[in-house]
Structure 1
Amino acid sequence: MAKTYIDTVKYLIYADVNVDGIVDKPDVVGAIFGQTEGLLGEELDLRDLQKNGRIGRIEVDLKPKGGKTRGVIKIPSSLDMVETCIIAAAIETVERVGPCEANIKTSNIEDTRNIKRDQLITRSKGLLRHLINTELPESQEISDMVREEVKAAEITTYGKDRLPAGPGISRAEEIILVEGRADVVNLLKKDLSSVVGIGGAKVPPTIEKLTKEKETTVFLDGDRGGDMILRELINAGADIDFLARAPAGKEVEELTRKEVMKCLKNKVPFEQEAKGSSPIPSHRNTVMNVPEQKAPQQPQPSERLSSGGGRRKRRESILEKVEREAAKMKASVKEGEEKRGKDEATPSREKEKGEERKIEEKTGEKEAAASSVQEKKKLSKEELENELKELSKTLKARFYDEDYNMMKELPVREVIKSLEEFKGIHAIVFDGIVTQRLVDLAESKGVKVLVGGKMGNVSKKPTKLELVIPSSKK
């Protein structure tokens, strides 16, 4: 029995057949086999080729019309190009189908591999596009990844307190003092190796000693946290040479290289800042209450480099000058009181007391302004919405206690973690999307008021927590 299928089809022969009479498909197929037999020799005999799987089943599609039959013949071939063309020419020699005259004409030889090639090219393009977009990073991305990994690996610890620091902190004559580990990592990525972190609000002895040995630039966040760290450094007796601040509302850990270099370029001498002649760029002017600070005990000259002694003397002279000015002011006030007591009658004594009270009130106002770095802003419940406007587009949040005193300002990404750690939070102002998770956690922690920028998918409304979303009121 002849083999009716073909393993690999390379070409398809298409031929048109016209018969002057009504015939069937077997008649056409029989005519092709019969009239080409012995025409091409044994190697290209159609019966042998079909038996060996070199030629497939001959398909015939006929349509009789008006006493004549027209149709299309299709022959699959796995022969090479030359042999396939010979077979196509051979079937054109058929002149009769049954008793009727016939004419067969090859119309086309189709290379089936072209279709596969088109499919292959289309698929290759799709795979390459996917590879470029998702798998292969650009050269700049590779460089950035390698640089970040190297910089992160370079971070070390310094001193007995094991403070986070760069590898060049021991060798450098000039150092940069920042708040925490994240700030150190960011500056290391910017190729600043002589940097050390305080490691918290409390200033360790290692920092105090280090600032007395090296020229120190303090680089702080542009928020209240930076003000508090600066006051703690002063109270601990740290010897600061220069002061730099991040832009308002930003932290050192999130600054770009351009912003870091600009902030360090705009640093000012600490003595100049202490006199109040050049305020540091921040979210508000930092007020130094230097006269109230007790001068820390200075180390012996042998503990300090020769260049450090000059900085200590300058700092002591500033403190002494401010204390002398304060003493003169008090003496002049006392002198004026005694003089008025001799020249004026008893009724004028009441006036003098009133003036004295005014002086005390002014002094109190100055002291209050001087300690504004540590004071927390008091707000009423109605003013929380205005606080949200102030936080707009900063992606920050604020915690308030029961008296609406601000407890902390932090990035919105740290709100969930801080909520689990803090206690006594009464209200939250949140420049972000209020989610079901945040609502549930805030309610479980006893928070009473939550002011948010947008309302997310909150299906379960809280019973003990008041949600305030100003954007939903519009």
Structure 2
Amino acid sequence: MQSSDTTKYIIHSKVNADGVIERPDIVGAIFGQTEGLLGSDLDLRDLQKTGRIGRIEVIVNTKGGKTRGNIHIPSSLDRIETSILAASLETIDRVGPCTAKIEVSQIEDVRATKRKHIIDRAKYILTDMFDENLPESQEIAEEVRQSVRIEEMQYYGKNKIPCGPNVLDSDAIVVVEGRADVLNLLRYGIKNTICVGGTNVPPEVAELTKKKTVTAFTDGDRGGKLIIKELLQVADIDYVARAPDGKSVEDLVQREIVRSLRQKVPVEQAIDAYSIEGESSGKTPATAKKGRLPRVAKRKERVVKPDVSRTASKTKDLAEPKERKESRHRPERRQSPARRSYPPEASRFKKHSEDLTGTLGARLLDNEDKVISETPVRDLVNALKESEENIKSVVFDGVITQRILDIASSRGIENLVGVKRGNITKNPTSVKVYTAQGA
């Protein structure tokens, strides 16, 4: 009798007979017709006596004068011997008085099945049993971590505005909505944050934005849009970042925070999106720049402050050339559709480009320049990565960056049409780049 503890493989086979047969007939045929076929080392009777072959299981079903069934033979032999034994079953051509055919359908590795069970059970133990008995030490660690975050928080100005410890020293800051947002960013090591406490932006924050490179980071709801509108009118910001739709900054995890900040858009695009262009904010290019410290000078001062350098490295992507800061105070930042010019080979994209003007949207086109889908510019990178369509051209109301160009090249996209070119250092020959002012 085969012990289940030593079984390595199970031979699964099917039997078909032209007549009525029963289990003993099939077992007898297996032993009788394989006897002496493979020599004494692989004789089924000897193998079963020594426990290397287990009890042969047969399940048969008779219908309409024909018999169908399944045969299962446990084996503790190695893979080669088990394969030879399985092949010998297919030499059986009669069972009892009937012609029959046996065909091997599968060799099951019992150890692989056990390993799968172990993995599934371990997953359950890890996710359910440990959660039900949360160690007290974890609760203590979380409480200590929370207290450290609160201790790191500082306050700015006479109104005691909550902020991170590096707001004054860093030349780039992140403006968020409330105290909870500052705490959440502190949790992930972003210490150059300050909040506005709602739609009524404090004068201290508005004045501070004139001296820094500023990213406004708000919730993905209507309140976040209102705060951006006010900041665009009373403060001096450079970039706009939004949490995913329906989510608050205080609820985001580190991955979502990093993604949102990387997808920030220049303030020029935000002005068009939030219909702020032309509204008077009481600022002119001269007054907006008043009090702004030279960027180079500020960086030199920060060299002697080692504990600030880590935060500066995390926010270095917020820095921006001085010329862009000045450009949004000019009366005309973008050409109107009627004044845009295209090279002859890009004229077929002109209608798509004009339709998208001022929308901060993007269109993904097929090889016949038909629209596959539309997406906001801030989601364009993810849309290109996740789309399974055969995209050949992309037309969007935004800046063509090196990142978008690299993704387009990897996806086999042939044409990129945007408002203007960003800082592109590598231009793949497989992608043609066009802008409103020319290629």
What TM-score, normalized to structure 2? 0.38
TM-score, reference length from structure 1: 0.35
Q: Name which one, 1 or 2, has greater alpha-carbon Rg.
A: 1
Which gives a bigger RCO, structure 1 or 2 (Cα 8 Å, sep 6+)? Answer: 2
